[in-house]
Amino acid sequence: MRKIKSLALIAMTAFAVVGCSSGNKEVEEASVDTLYNKGATALQEGGYSEAIRYLNATTERFPGSIYQEQAMLDLIYANYKSQDYTGVLVTVDSFLNQFPQSQHRDYAVYMAGLTNAATADNAIQDFFGIDRATRETTSLKTAFANFQSLVRAFPNSPYSQDALARMAYIKDSLARHELEIAKFYAKRNADVAVANRVVGMLQLYPDTPATYEGLFLMRDAYQKMGLETLANQTQQVIDANKDKALTKVEKPEEPELKVPTATNQ
């Protein structure tokens, strides 16, 4: 049985090599019109891997063609749908450099934000109910910066409202991340670290439930250090905000994406 499996694997590998070789020849010899049209058709039909192959060939073999801008916009979308997040970010960076005056720069920046946010997600953590806010936050911070750049540079963009909603969610998530760290320090009686962490939360994420919860940790830390004035001041802040409606921000749903059309198409 093991020998049969090995032979089957060899046969499948040989078939794959032949198919790949044939496909490569087609990509190497086809005209720019053929490559782009095949890529666009595959994209429309949801064949993202095939679309990426043809669109990459379009941009790499014929840089500067009339299809270049649209092909790169299509590639950003195709890579995102196929969850090739590195491919999205590389294409976005290249697009912004090649087309600094494009009317679709907002789309590129928005897609970078969605991609960095998606990178921060983890299906296994979702399945087991683990809060991603307690995990590494670099990608979330980068996504926030992407959305912030979009809103500032393109306030009238059709993507700005969704970007603002995602910024609110990310801010709430980052605040919860900081709270978990403050709790970690509190359990180890690292009172100075607790106070410093919550001070940072007040500066960066003032209107979040996690920051309000962190105030109690900071008050207790000041009391343990014998800093009664600071403890009392913190209690005053707690009292002043106790009736304030602070609710956890729900994660925005996946947006309905559509590739914009370049002006030369």
**Residue 89: closest CA among 72, 70, 64:** 72
Using the structure block, give the residue that is written with the tokens 């270049």: 68
Task: Give the pLDDT confidence score for residue 248 in this predicted structure.
Answer: 79
* Percentage with pLDDT > 70 across the chain: 85
List, for residues 10-21, the tens digit of each pLDDT value: 444 444 444 444
**Residue 96: closest CA among 150, 166, 148:** 150
* pLDDT at residue 88 tops 90: yes
Per-residue pLDDT band for 122 (boundaries 50, 70, 90) equals low
Mean pLDDT of all residues in 100-106: 97
Task: Give the pLDDT confidence score for residue 246 in this predicted structure.
Answer: 80
Mean pLDDT (the chain) is: 88
Mean pLDDT of all residues in 192-213: 96
> Alpha carbon of 46 to those of 20, 43, 119, 230: distances in Å?
20, 5, 22, 59
Distance of alpha carbon 64 from its chain centroid, rounded?
Answer: 29
List, for residues 211-264, the tens digit of each pLDDT value: 999 999 999 999 999 999 999 999 999 999 988 878 878 999 999 999 999 877
φ, ψ of residue 63 to 5 degrees: the values are -65, 140
Show the tokens assigned to 237: 């802040």
Query: Residues 198, 237: contact at Cβ < 8 Å?
Result: no
Other CB atoms within a 10 A radius of the CB of residue 193 amount to 16
Task: Give the pLDDT confidence score for residue 162 in this predicted structure.
Answer: 97
* pLDDT at residue 138 tops 60: yes
Q: Which alpha helices (DSSP H) does the chain contain, by range?
A: 2-29, 32-44, 48-61, 68-81, 85-98, 105-120, 123-127, 138-153, 160-187, 191-204, 209-224, 228-241
Residue 198, C-beta contacts closer than 8 angstroms, at least 6 positions apart? 182, 211, 214, 215, 217, 218, 221
**Residue 133: closest CA among 123, 121, 142, 124:** 121
CA geometry: angle at 116 spanning 111 and 119, to 5°?
A: 125
Query: Residues 37, 50: contact at Cβ < 8 Å?
Result: no
Task: Give the pLDDT confidence score for residue 121 in this predicted structure.
Answer: 77
Task: Give the pLDDT confidence score for residue 130 in this predicted structure.
Answer: 53
List, for residues 37-57, the tens digit of each pLDDT value: 999 999 999 999 999 999 999
Cα–Cα distance measured from residue 172 to residue 250, given in angstroms and rounded to the nearest whole number: 9
* pLDDT at residue 61 tops 90: yes
The alpha-carbon radius of gyration of the chain (Å, integer) is: 25
Mean pLDDT of all residues in 184-202: 97
Query: Residues 119, 85: contact at Cβ < 8 Å?
Result: yes
Per-residue pLDDT band for 2 (boundaries 50, 70, 90) equals very low
Mean pLDDT of all residues in 176-186: 95
* pLDDT at residue 135 tops 70: no
